[in-house]
Amino acid sequence: MRPAKAVIDLAALRHNYSLARRIHGGKALAVVKANAYGHGAVACATALAGVADGFAVACLEEAEALRAAGIESPILLLEGVFEAAELARVDELGLWMVVHQSEQLAWLEAFAAARPLTVWLKFNTGMNRAGLPLARLAELHAKLAAAPAVGSITVMTHFARADEPDCEETMAQFARLEAALAGIRVPLSVCNSAGILGWPSIRGDWARPGIMLYGADPMPGEGHGLRPVMQLESRVMAVRDLAAGDAVGYGARFVATAPMRVGLVAMGYADGYPRVVPDGTPLCVGGRRTRIVGRVSMDMLTVDLTGCDAGVGAPVELWGATIPVNEIAAAAGTIAYELLCNVKRVRFEYIHPA
Ligand SMILES: *Cc1c(COP(=O)(O)O)cnc(C)c1O
């Protein structure tokens, strides 16, 4: 069997959720959109079901999968419904939904719900992506509060730059929201992971931690006590000796300057490992840190084994316990979110909490 696998530590996931909730101090929806950032949404939500206040997903289809797997906790649709016809399913499944634009509001006002719906009204405080105009907060809140289909309202916004500790925009976004609230008493949700970790003076009632649940710290420097959840692993499948001047792999990007041993590892960009990483990108072979040499191929990559006795079958960690996924993301010029979401084809193995 091809040895490439993603080992998912569900105890670490639970630890990170509890840490997020404790640091924030309020309730927390565990964000499990995009298949729980590539970790498996059903497995992750099931592991968190006993501890999480609820879950957040991107769309109805993702929520339906969780309900079908027996998840009975609140589930928030972060982008709400994409068409009016979805409201009936939202009602039926008891989902919570974001309303971030005015068509969604109109659909909701025209909808006869079997039970009053929980709505999270999302306002644009400066990111200019999703969200209703802040100037209409009081008006829209009053309008929605009067709509028969609506049971409870939470006001939310999303930060554009919370992962930048010295950036004034995060405080400015929060200040704009507070000013628009002008004394309206309504539960608030503003913090993603970076908000929770980096902005202790900004809180609200509900946090929405995503990336930190999976153990990747979005703030520079890390050190918040998060535990990595995914370990991407494989094994050495062949070993070769190179002479000085021998090149390795496509495009002969790496050329040996001295005799060396190179290991071939069963992991490639078809598994979601980023092709763009340069020579020197770290990984661990047989517990020892070494480096990638040569271009990553679709199914394989090559590593420097000079001076280590690892042979065929030696275990390889691409990221996880010793190599932070953030480090590989930096080498690839991207963020951990993208790498984690991209993991595919490999076997998924789940370590369940004791
Ligand atoms: C994805 C998402 C989150 C989670 O963000 P992280 O940076 O992963 O913590 C929170 N809120 C909204 C609206 C999101 O779309």
Neighbours of 299 (CB within 10 A): 16
Which of 24, 31, 76, 189 is the pocket-test mutation for ligand 1 (most atoms within 8 Å of CB)?
A: 31
What is the sign, positive or negative, of the torsion defined by CA atoms of 152, 23, 69, 231?
A: positive
Known catalytic residue at 33: yes
- CATH number of the domain bearing residue 282: 2.40.37.10
In a domain? residue 86: yes
The answer to whether the beta carbons of residues 320 and 214 sit under 8 Å apart is no
The answer to whether the beta carbons of residues 214 and 227 sit under 8 Å apart is no
Predicted local distance difference test score (pLDDT) of residue 294 = 98
Query: If we measure between CA atoms, which residue out of 60, 66, 67, 61 comes closest to residue 81?
Result: 60
Predicted local distance difference test score (pLDDT) of residue 307 = 87
The answer to whether the beta carbons of residues 236 and 264 sit under 8 Å apart is yes
- Would you call 278 helix, strand, or coil by DSSP? coil
CA atoms in the 13 A half-sphere facing the CB of 184: 20
Contacts of 61 (CB under 8 A, 6+ apart): none
Query: If we measure between CA atoms, which residue out of 149, 102, 107, 93 comes closest to residue 121?
Result: 102
Predicted local distance difference test score (pLDDT) of residue 30 = 99
Q: Which of 180, 214, 248 is the last residue of a domain?
A: 214
Q: Which of 33, 122, 214, 269 is catalytic?
A: 33
Q: Which of 160, 181, 214 is the last residue of a domain?
A: 214
Q: Which domain holds residue 301?
A: 230-351
In a domain? residue 223: no
Alpha carbon distance 346, 232 (integer Å): 9
The answer to whether the beta carbons of residues 122 and 87 sit under 8 Å apart is no
Contacts of 93 (CB under 8 A, 6+ apart): 63, 64, 67, 75
Q: Which of 185, 214, 243 is the last residue of a domain?
A: 214
- CATH number of the domain bearing residue 14: 3.20.20.10
199 plus 315 within the same structural domain: no
Alpha carbon distance 193, 336 (integer Å): 13
Tell me the pLDDT of the chain (354 aa) as tens digits. 999 999 999 999 999 999 999 999 999 999 999 999 999 999 999 999 999 999 999 999 999 999 999 999 999 999 999 999 999 999 999 999 999 999 999 999 999 999 999 999 999 999 999 999 999 999 999 999 999 999 999 999 999 999 999 999 999 999 999 999 999 999 999 999 999 999 999 999 999 999 999 999 999 886 899 999 999 999 999 999 999 999 999 999 999 999 999 999 999 999 999 999 999 999 999 999 999 999 999 999 999 999 888 999 999 999 999 999 999 999 999 999 999 999 999 999 999 988
Ligand 1 nearest-atom number relative to CA 33: 1
First to last CA, the chain: 28
Alpha carbon distance 229, 39 (integer Å): 8
Predicted local distance difference test score (pLDDT) of residue 353 = 86
102 plus 192 within the same structural domain: yes
Alpha carbon distance 33, 136 (integer Å): 29
Alpha carbon distance 216, 222 (integer Å): 8
CA of 241 to the centre of ligand 1 (A): 47
In a domain? residue 183: yes
251 plus 317 within the same structural domain: yes
With a Cβ cut-off of 6 Å, ligand 1 is lined by 31, 33, 78, 158, 192-194, 208-212, 218
Indicate the residue type of 202. Answer: I
261 plus 190 within the same structural domain: no
What b/e sequence results for 301-317 when a residue is b if at least 16 CB atoms lie within 10 Å of its CB, and e otherwise? Answer: bbbbbbebebeeebebb
In a domain? residue 1: no
31 plus 147 within the same structural domain: yes
What is the sign, positive or negative, of the torsion defined by CA atoms of 28, 32, 33, 37?
A: positive
CA-nearest residue for atom 14, ligand 1, is: 78
Indicate the DSSP class of residue 116: P
Indicate the DSSP class of residue 108: H
In a domain? residue 5: no
Indicate the DSSP class of residue 353: P
| Total of domains in the chain | 2
In a domain? residue 170: yes
CA of 47 to the centre of ligand 1 (A): 20
194 plus 234 within the same structural domain: no
- Would you call 72 helix, strand, or coil by DSSP? coil
The answer to whether the beta carbons of residues 98 and 117 sit under 8 Å apart is no
198 plus 285 within the same structural domain: no
Q: Report the predicted TM-score, pTM, of the whole model to 2 decimal places.
A: 0.98
28 plus 144 within the same structural domain: yes
256 plus 209 within the same structural domain: no
Alpha carbon distance 193, 208 (integer Å): 7
